[in-house]
Amino acid sequence: MKKWHYILLICILAALITAPVLLMPDRDYEGADNIAEEVIMAINPLYDPWIEPVWEPPSKEIESFLFAFQAAAGSAFIGFYLGKITTRRKNRG
């Protein structure tokens, strides 16, 4: 790819990341788990969950950190694997 392709991709990525925040500044971004829990409780207030979590993070910040760490670790693994496959193909041919 040419250099301007990378610059264009970075600009598109930056626009996709910032657009929701700029277009909806007063929006409260909460996870799908919380929204689903609210809907379930609205439908059936007596609902009793089948299982309880083994461990809950002590704060929302730690929960966010663990989620981001999991996403970063998964991305690193996929990137490493794709890089390894690409290098193998280049070395063969």
CA distance 45 to 49: 11
pLDDT given for residue 16 in this prediction: 93
Query: Structural domain tally of the chain?
Result: 1
pLDDT in tens, 27-47: 777 778 888 989 999 999 999
Question: Phi first, then psi: what are they for 5, rounded to 5°?
Answer: -65, -45
Contact 40, 47 (CB under 8 A): yes
Domain of residue 51: give its range: 3-92
pLDDT in tens, 45-73: 999 988 888 998 999 899 889 999 999 99
